[in-house]
Amino acid sequence: MMRQTDGVYHSPMPVVAAGERRVFELTDVNSEHGNAGLAQDISELERVQGQLRRTLESHTRTLDQLQTPVAVFGADHRLQFYNAAYRSLWDIDQSFLETKPEEGELLDALRAARKLPEQADYRGWRTKHLECYQALDAQAFWWHLPDGRTLRVIASPHPQGGVTYFYENVTEQLDLESRFNALTRVQRETLDHLTEAVAVFGSNGRMRLSNPAFAEIWGLSQEFLEGAPHVNDLLDNCRELMGDSDRWQELARGVTGLSDNRTSVSGRMERIDGSVIDYVTVPLPDGGTLLTFVNVTDTVNVERALHATNDALQEADQLKNAFIQHVSYELRSPLTTIIGFAQLLGDAKFGDLSPKQEEYTDYILSSSSALLHIINDILDLATVDAGIMELEISEVDVAQTVSEAVEGLKDRLVESDITLRTHMPDDIGILKADERRLRQVLFNLLSNAIRYSDKGGLVDISCQREENEIRFRIKDHGAGIPQEMLEQVFSRFVGRGAGGNRQGVGLGLSIVKSFVELHGGTVDITSEEGQGTTVDCTFPLEPHIHSLEAAE
């Protein structure tokens, strides 16, 4: 038993008394006058102290497992406790923390490592921060660290002195909040500048947001919309425009309906004021509903006008075709009679004619033949339009067909002093096509080239055989076609005059295009004013016979 220098012995001692384990605090005093001893039962105090010690150890282990950095400073400003998250937050040497530095010393070390917020007056900031030890309530600070992180620091003072600090890293939270606010502003600006009327209703049927276009299209005041009106209240306000229409009722049911399988609904409504509105409802994932409205009155009116105009044009075109076809048939019979009698008059068997009479007879035959040719062209086009033209496909000798087409134009070539050059390979071979229609195509193209060539000019016709097609090219060196008329040359009854030549009735190229496309071929035309015109016709070796609709 070791006594102190003053002769006093003091120590706790476990004792079994009355069958129980007890702890007594023994005190023994030795003096020159004798010995005195005292035993005090401290079992309850020892139990409470052990319980407190275990509680503190449990709290320490709990705090050490937290992801939130925690540091506890005593009344002497020295570090009493820190958890692993605190050490990781500041990346401080653990040996330094084990020395239990004062908070002011710790702040100086963090500032030297550039880990504290940049301050113009660091000393003043440090002094103000340490005032937390005299505070009565918890305080919160925002620290914007040099590395870009933002900490929310909560200083909670102890009743017996000292402060506990909690450090919450809110960098990501602030970033998400900033991005969310920016996205919300962008969406708000986008909605406000949309021409479509947009409104969003919650699952309770009340409006959550709308844009100015919605208020404008339905004539609603801003004060009314800011009161988050129910969809039924909107129905009452819009009834003057909608009348007894059940469209809004349908929309209201779509907004307030409880169906699990809600689907998008779209439609069109016509209001009492004559305007036409397209609407769409879109169910939202949170149970709300998005409504959009677009005023399509102008579009619908234009569409209706176009349909009416188109119907009128189609009816007029059908009437024109029927009239032309009827007149053509009615003209053909008497014209054939005129040509027959004119030929009889020119026959010597029926008597001699004077030179003047012969000249007049020739004029009758020439004009009648030209008129008959025009009537035949009109009838051909009418047959194509009716979809009843049938091509008589056979093997056609290309070179012979070109020669026959040229032969029928010799009189015109001599009269116009035009030179026609033919470029034909010896192995051009045969082509499956309607020989009469092919000859008619070449005749019309050559006639057109001669008509618009200068007197004494030159016309070229060439033919080239390719892998799956044969290409005919007719080129003149006349006045050419203006660019503004180039797209109209294949239209019916569109003719032009050039270089003083007689303008045609405008059926030749239209017939060419119809017959070529009936064979499954193509027609291309290029022209330059003053340089002439080139027409390319391509016929497939095996024709793909098209109907009128396909040809158009």
**pLDDT computed for residue 273 by the predictor:** 83
Residue that wins the pLDDT comparison between 138 and 51: 138
Structure-token pair, residue 357: 């009479």
| Per-residue pLDDT at 104 exceeds 60 | yes
Q: Which pLDDT score is estimated for 506?
A: 55
Asked: is 387-551 a CATH 3.40.50.1110 domain? The reply is no
DSSP state letter for 12: E
- pLDDT tens by residue, 203-244: 888 888 888 888 888 888 888 888 888 888 888 887 777 765
- Report CA torsion sign: 390, 396, 398, 402: negative
Strand order, beta sheet including 197-201:
207-210, 197-201, 289-295, 276-283, 265-270
Distance CA 539, CA 470 (A): 5
**Pairwise CA distance, residues 455 & 457, whole Å:** 5
- Please, which pLDDT band fits residue 153 given cuts at 50, 70 and 90? very high
Q: Is the pLDDT of residue 350 over 80?
A: no
The terminus-to-terminus CA distance of the chain in angstroms comes to 126
**Which among 14-28, 235-249, 297-311 has the top mean pLDDT?**
297-311
Q: Is the dihedral of CA 224, 230, 231, 237 positive or negative?
A: negative
Give domain 66-174's CATH number out of 3.30.450.20, 1.10.3720.10, 3.40.30.10, 3.40.190.10: 3.30.450.20
Give the C-alpha separation, 497 to 501, whole Å. Answer: 6
**Local confidence band at 548 (pLDDT 50, 70, 90 cut-offs):** very low
SS3 of residue 489 by DSSP:
coil
Band (459; pLDDT cuts 50, 70, 90): very high
Q: If 0-12 CB within 10 Å is exposed, 13-18 middle and 19+ buried, where does residue 172 land?
A: exposed
Residue 497 has pLDDT above 60, yes or no: no
How crowded is the C-beta side of 134, counted as CA atoms within 13 Å? 5
Q: What mean pLDDT is predicted for residues 336-359? A: 77
pLDDT of amino acid 327: 65
Question: Is the confidence at residue 265, as pLDDT, over 90?
Answer: no
pLDDT band for 536, please (50, 70, 90 cuts).
very high
Per-residue pLDDT tens over the stretch 407-431: 878 888 888 888 999 998 888 888 8
Please answer whether residues 28 and 37 qualify as being in contact, where contact means their C-beta atoms are separated by less than 8 angstroms: yes
Q: What tens digit of pLDDT does each residue of 25-50 get?
A: 777 777 777 777 777 777 777 776 66
Tell me which of 541 and 381 has the higher pLDDT. 541
Q: Does domain 194-295 have CATH number 3.30.450.20?
A: yes
Weakest mean pLDDT among 137-141, 148-152, 247-251: 247-251
The DSSP secondary structure of 203-266, one letter per residue, reads: TTSBEEEE-HHHHHHHT--HHHHHT--BHHHHHHHHHHHHTT-SHHHHHHHHHH---SS---EE
What DSSP letter does each residue of 133-198 carry, written as one string? GG-SS-EEEEEE-TTS-EEEEEEEE-TTS-EEEEEEE-HHHHHHHHHHHHHHHHHHHHHHT-SSEE
Q: Specify the pLDDT at position 545.
A: 60
Of 78-82, 239-243, 274-278, give the lowest mean pLDDT range: 239-243
- Is the pLDDT reported for residue 154 higher than 80? yes
Statement: residue 320 has pLDDT above 80: no
Q: What is the mean pLDDT of the chain?
A: 81
> Quick one: pLDDT at residue 549?
42
